[in-house]
Every structure is written in structure tokens, then in C-alpha cells.
A and B are shown apart, each in its own frame.
Chain A
Amino acid sequence: MIFQPAIIALLLAAGLSLAMLAVASPFALQLIRHWDLGSGSERQLRLERLTYLFSMMVALVCGLQVLSTLLFVFNADKMSVMFVGAMCAVGALNANVYGFPALYAQLVAFFFAATWLAINRLDNQARDYPLTRLKYRLLLAYAPLAAAVLYLQFNYFIRLEADVITSCCGSLFSEEADTVASEVSALAPARAMSVFYAMLGGAILLAVWHWKGAGRGLWSGLAVGTASVAAFFAALAGVVAFVSLYIYEHPNHHCPFCILKPEYGYQGYLLYLPLFAAAAAGLAAGVLSLFGGRPNLATLAPQASARLAGIAAAGFALFVLGASVMVLRSNLILIE
């Protein structure tokens, strides 16, 4: 099924990303070994010039990852009509063993890319590029990840066969099955709601606190990072445990993918876009607060961290607001 336009586009994006990272990697090694801003040697000048090119290249790759993530989920949802038994993206992703790993790898790549972009931006703002070495170390770590994404996606798409009978979301997110997804599905709505609002509320408060404190506290920054990751998972669990039920107005349908479908007015995008943006921003806020101790970044890093924390707070708030409105507007009654 490799001849689907969206699949070709995804593979093109993944292949191009890997190719660019592969070209950048030898340069990264050279830079890590010889980078010395104080020196005026010819090699240093050449390195300085080349950093512009490779920073641009990796920024393009990271932007591409953000687009690919969206395209991948969208495409999985569209492909579900091709498989017997599939009703939404879950069925398409379940069509072979590479489906879900490919999605997870894509998500990891997304968060990695977002963090890298934040570091890159901070580094470019400082006069002496203090984070260049770190940036290129991260780039070296990124290349294998990009290779994994391409490998998993290629295997997933090349092995797709239309006559495979897959399972639909009803069986993966049922309350009886023996998986994490089903454990989450089986959570009592009242308990799930309290965990959901506590975690997200906590993350929002922490982010606002860090933002108000102009991002100066290292600990508050790290707390925002950790809380964002925790809130991200709590949010996903909440969507599975109760938000989806209210959207479908059905007490047993827990699928977090069907809410992306036109039948439900694409409401899922209203939830996931702010959630992912907020989680990525919160994570980056945490990472950037680590650099506040460096003399050249003493003012810039907290500034950037605070701004990202503000974005994270706004994103999480938007997500909670959206989810709450969807729950309140629903005709389903779960809790008397």
C-alpha cells in the first residue's frame, strides 16, 4: 500500500529528515571536538559559518517532524476504511506490529524536535553561542531516532495488507482486556476526573508560578518540566477514561482516536493540538531552566523559560477548558 499519496509524503519527509541529519552528523562530531569561540583560526571560522547551514537544516527537520506527526495520525485515521474490522486509526495502526511503535517513535521525535528548537532559539539569542556544543551532541542523538522513525514507518507501510482483519478500538480500549489502555478505561469516572483535574490544575499553577517569577527559579523550572510530562499522560488517561465517553455520549466507548473523526466534528484536534503544544512547551521550559546558571545565559534562559511556561499554562488551560466544555455539553450522565 506504499502508493498512497500521504504515505509517500510521510516517507519522503522521514527520508529527507534522516538524510539531512546524516549529512550534519560528521560536521557535528567535528564541531564537538574543535569548537572554540575564542580562537580565530581558519577552522573555527569555517565551523562558525557551517553552523548557520546545519542549524537551519536541523530546524527544518524539526519543523518537519511536527508536520509529520499530524500527518501520520490523520493518515492512520483515513486509512481505516481500507481494513476489515477497523473503524478508526486504532484499527489501521493495529494492522501490523509496526503501527503503534511507529506512532510512539513519531511522538518521541516530536517532543525531541520541539526541545531542540527551543534550545536552538536560546543559543542564537546569546552573543557567544554557549549551547552550540550541546546542540550538536543532541543532534547526534537525534539521528538514530530519525532512523528509527523511518525504519518503523517504512516497515509499517510496506507490510500493510488490505485483507488483514484488524481489531477495532472497541477491543483495545475495552474494560476487560489486559492492557494499560484497558486499565485506564476501567477507571471509575469520578476518580479519573479528580486525578485529571488535580494533575492538570497542578501543572497550570506551577507553570503560571514559574512564568510570574520570570523563570528565575531552577526548581520551579524543573517542576514545570516534570509536571508537564505528568500532566500530558494524565490528560491522555483522562481522555480515555471519561472525556471520550462524554463526547460519544456512550458509557463504554473509550477510544481516544475516534474523536478525531468528522462524525464527532473533529473535536479531538481541539483537544490534542493545545495539549501537545503545552506539553512540548512545558518540557522545553524545564530543560531551558537548566541553563540559567551559565553566565552568558543568566538573563536570557530564564526569560525564554518563563515565556515557554506561559505558553504551557495557556495550552493546558485551553485543553482543560475544551474538555470541560465537551463534558458539560454532553447529554451523557456518568456521575449522578
Chain B
Amino acid sequence: MKPWIERQRHLIDFTAQSLARRKGKSLGLLVVYTLLVFVLASVALYTHALRNEATRVLAGTPEIVLQRLIAGRHDLVPPGYIEKIGRIRGVQKIEGRLWGYYYDSVLKANYTFMVATDREIAPGEIVVGPALERTRELSAGNGVSFRAYTGELHTFIVAEVLAHESELVSADLVLMNAADFRRFFAYPAGHHTDIALWVANPLEVRNVGVKLLDALPDSRPILREEVLRTYASIFDWREGMMLALLSAAILAFGIFAWEKAAGLSAEEKREIGILKAIGWETGDVIAMKFWEGFLVSLLAFLVGYVAAYVHVFHFEFALFAPVLKGWAVLYPSFALTPQIDGLQVATLFVFTVLPYTAATLVPIWRAATTDPDTVMRS
């Protein structure tokens, strides 16, 4: 084992020096390679973090949301529905929710108006999300007026601004009292927007859904796991699409790597010729070239990955964010939790190092099997 390691060490030593001698050529390849890793790793890291964020956010939501449908469209839940559901075994809590959208013509943006069930809000007061605080320059104690859909103007006092940590879900949120909500939207008394159900046992959620459908045939239960799965596949799909689009770049990179490896300069040819003349075997030259590829790949992979990490988690994925995260007037600004996933690194490896290795195979072989005699003569 020892002589083998010694041998590889000397080969690596030699390769590193020969790479350093040809700085210009190596640097060009390294830059392109690093860029490719950077782009792909950015996409992978960002979607992974988004997926995790979605899972984290949804963890606190009710297991089932029940909507009433009329002609296939979402409609208000009339009085008596919650009672009709009655007691279903396994359901911890049933709650009628009140929420709606409000279009603010000042900002040309939609707000989500909602009645808070977990906190008491005094009549005439509201609690607003951080994006509203920013865009309408509101702070606790300020008054703000909204023109209702009926035409009248309602004035509220901002009691509190929600914490920035929850911005991903609360950016455009306006929380208010139930009576204020009904008056503002002229909401029919006793009606609810939808019904939320909390189920303790995750294995029971589907059964509860089936029972709900039996009890209320005109309703649609939406399960949290379905929402989660949809999010997961949307993000995966977006990432996959982006990768499919970038496959052209990967292909171009493959061609570039081939060209770089195939276009041996006269000097390099002479070098290989001399090496062989002084006793190197074809296998040795191949090993040297292998180490060359390995060193370049490793360096490009590390630098590209670290740069992508910084890009995603410190610069908020500034370059490609619009493609992957969607768009809104009141878009939440949020920091993602840094996370590295083994599967993603392995996938990235297949997308970058594999094409490079495959593309340089033939050129390496060509270089290694050149005749010392012909090279040195020419």
C-alpha cells in the first residue's frame, strides 16, 4: 500500500506543478467549471431551503381545511355546518375561520384580512404584517383607513406589527376583530369562510376526510399533507425544469472541456513525449492526467459550491430568485435556513464532474498514447 500512496503523491505533486506552469489555460477551464457548479448548486440549495421552509411553515397549520363548494366554486360556509359535522372521533378541535382578500388601490396590492382566533384584538384595532409596515410606513399607534367594498371608509388603529420572523406567512396579513371583519366586508351573519379541523393522529386524517365528505357532500376537504406534497413537487419540478434548461449549459461545458483537453499545445505534447522517452508508461501518463482532472474538478466543485452557499444564504439568491420563488407586490422578504443535503451534493456531482470526466476521457487517452518519437521530431 505504502509505495502506491508514495507514487500517487509524486504524481499529484508533478500534476499540480504542471498545472501551475500553464496558468492561463487551467484558469479558463477552472472559471467556467466553477461557474457551472455555482449556478447548479445555487438552484439546488435554494429549492431545498424553500422546500424545508414550506414544511416548517405548514407544520403549524390545521390538518384539514373544509371548504364549501357551489358549482365547483369556493363559497361561504352557512350557519349550522359546524354543528352538522358534529363529533368525529379523532378530531381535536373544529373552528370556523373568517378571512378574505382586500385590494388596496393605493399600493395596488392585495392584503389578507383575517380574524385572529388565537389572540384578542379590541374593536377598531388591527395587527398588521411586516410588509405592510414597510410599504405603508405604519407602526403601532398609527391610524389607517381602508375603503370597504361598500364604498364607506373604515379607520383602524394599528395595535401591533407582527414579528419579522413569521414574514413568510404574515407579510400581507391584517388581523382584526370578528365584528369589525363582518362589518367591513358586510359579511352575512353566522357564515364562515371555511372550517379548520385539527386531527391528532396523522394516520386518521384520511378517514376523517372521508367522514366529512359523507356528512357534507357539498364540501371539499383539503389535507395538509396534500398541500405539502404539492409544494414539494412544485419546487422539485421548478428545479428540474431549471436543470433541464441548464442542460444546454452542461452540454456546452462538456464540449468546452473536450476542446480544452484535446487541444494540447505543442509544449504539452513535447512534455508528454519527453516523459515517455525517459520511461513513463502510458498508464502513468493517464494517471497524471486523471489527477489533473481530479484536482480541477475538486477545486471547481468546492469553490463553486461555497460561492453558491454564500449567494443563496447571504445574498438571498439575488440572481435567479424570480424564476424559482414566484412574484407578488407585497413579497415577503425572508432569510432561509442554511441546509446542506447529501442527496443534493451527490446529484450535483453527477451533473458536473461526470460530464467533465466523460468528455476528457478520449482526449486524455489520445495524449497518453502519443508516440514520443513523432512528438519530439515534429
Binding site for B on A (CB under 8 A): 1-10, 12-13, 16, 20, 49, 52-53, 56-57, 60, 64, 67, 70-71, 74-75, 78, 81-82, 84, 124, 162
Please pick, from B233, B243, B358, the residue contacting A82 in the complex, using a CB distance under 8 A. B233
* Residue picked from A20, A81, A124, most chain B C-beta under 10 Å: A81
Please state if B283 and A13 are interface contacts (CB–CB under 8 Å).
no
Judge whether B315 is part of the interface by a CB distance below 8 angstroms: no
* Smallest beta-carbon distance A97→chain B, Å: 22
Please state if B244 and A8 are interface contacts (CB–CB under 8 Å).
yes
Count of inter-chain pairs, beta carbons less than 8 A: 85
* A52→B287 CA distance, assembly (Å): 11
Residues in chain A near residue B344, CB distance under 8 A? 5
Judge whether B277 is part of the interface by a CB distance below 8 angstroms: no
Chain B, Cβ-Cβ closest to A77: B343
CB within 8 Å of A: which of B320-378? 342-344, 346-347, 349-351, 354, 357-358, 361-362, 364-365, 368-369
Please state if A78 and B243 are interface contacts (CB–CB under 8 Å).
no
Given contacts A5-B240, A13-B354, A56-B365, contact A71 B233 (CB under 8 A): no
Residues in chain B near residue A57, CB distance under 8 A? 361
* Smallest beta-carbon distance B233→chain A, Å: 6
* A1→B229 CA distance, assembly (Å): 13
Chain B contact patch, size range? 20 to 34
Pick 23 A–B contacts, CB within 8 A, sort by A.
A1-B233, A3-B236, A3-B241, A5-B239, A5-B240, A5-B344, A6-B347, A7-B240, A8-B240, A9-B350, A10-B350, A13-B354, A16-B354, A52-B282, A52-B368, A56-B365, A60-B357, A67-B349, A67-B350, A71-B350, A74-B342, A81-B229, A162-B233
Residues in chain A near residue B346, CB distance under 8 A? 6, 9, 67, 70-71, 74
Residues in chain A near residue B349, CB distance under 8 A? 67
Q: What are the 8 A-B residue pairs with the smallest beta carbon separation, nearest first?
A: A3-B240, A9-B350, A53-B365, A9-B347, A49-B369, A6-B347, A74-B343, A4-B236
* Smallest beta-carbon distance A149→chain B, Å: 15
Residues in chain B near residue A74, CB distance under 8 A? 342-343, 346
Please state if A8 and B243 are interface contacts (CB–CB under 8 Å).
yes
Residues in chain B near residue A9, CB distance under 8 A? 346-347, 350-351
16 further contact pairs, Cβ within 8 A, besides A5-B240, A52-B283:
A4-B236, A4-B240, A5-B239, A5-B351, A8-B244, A9-B350, A12-B350, A56-B364, A56-B365, A60-B357, A71-B346, A71-B347, A71-B350, A74-B346, A162-B229, A162-B233
Chain B, Cβ-Cβ closest to A6: B347
Please state if A81 and B228 are interface contacts (CB–CB under 8 Å).
yes
Judge whether B162 is part of the interface by a CB distance below 8 angstroms: no
Please state if B237 and A3 are interface contacts (CB–CB under 8 Å).
yes
* A162→B231 CA distance, assembly (Å): 13
Q: Mark B232-276, 1 if CB is under 8 A from A, else 0.
A: 110011011101100000000000000000000000000000000
Given contacts A12-B350, A71-B343, A162-B229, contact A56 B361 (CB under 8 A): yes
Please state if B350 and A13 are interface contacts (CB–CB under 8 Å).
yes
Please state if B243 and A5 are interface contacts (CB–CB under 8 Å).
yes
Residues in chain B near residue A70, CB distance under 8 A? 346
Judge whether B161 is part of the interface by a CB distance below 8 angstroms: no
* A4→B240 CA distance, assembly (Å): 5
Please pick, from A6, A64, A78, A162, the residue contacting B354 in the complex, using a CB distance under 8 A. A64
Please state if A53 and B362 are interface contacts (CB–CB under 8 Å).
yes
* Residue picked from A9, A12, A13, A57, most chain B C-beta under 10 Å: A9
Please pick, from A7, A16, A78, A81, the residue contacting B358 in the complex, using a CB distance under 8 A. A16
Judge whether B44 is part of the interface by a CB distance below 8 angstroms: yes
Please state if B369 and A52 are interface contacts (CB–CB under 8 Å).
yes
Judge whether B35 is part of the interface by a CB distance below 8 angstroms: no
